[in-house]
Amino acid sequence: MLKNLRRITVSLSEDTVKKLDKYAEQLGQVSRSDAARVLLIEALKEK
């Protein structure tokens, strides 16, 4: 299922972007898109 996950474009609020940046920093200075990818994969695993 995740192999088909190529690119998703979303609009995020400024508050959400700040939270995502904070999460990226906690992961070890990864990019915002990498942090979003980690969160998305974790959410999909929970389903």
Q: Does 20 reside within a domain?
A: yes
The structural domain count of the chain equals: 1
Q: Does 5 reside within a domain?
A: no
The pLDDT assigned to 11 comes to 85
The range of the structural domain enclosing residue 15 comes to: 11-46
Percentage above 70 pLDDT, the chain? 87
Q: Does 3 reside within a domain?
A: no
Helices (H), 1-47: 14-26, 32-46
Helix axes 32-46, 14-26, angle to 10 degrees: 90
Average pLDDT of the chain to the nearest whole number: 82
Q: How far apart are CA 38 and CA 19, in angstroms?
A: 14
The pLDDT assigned to 34 comes to 86
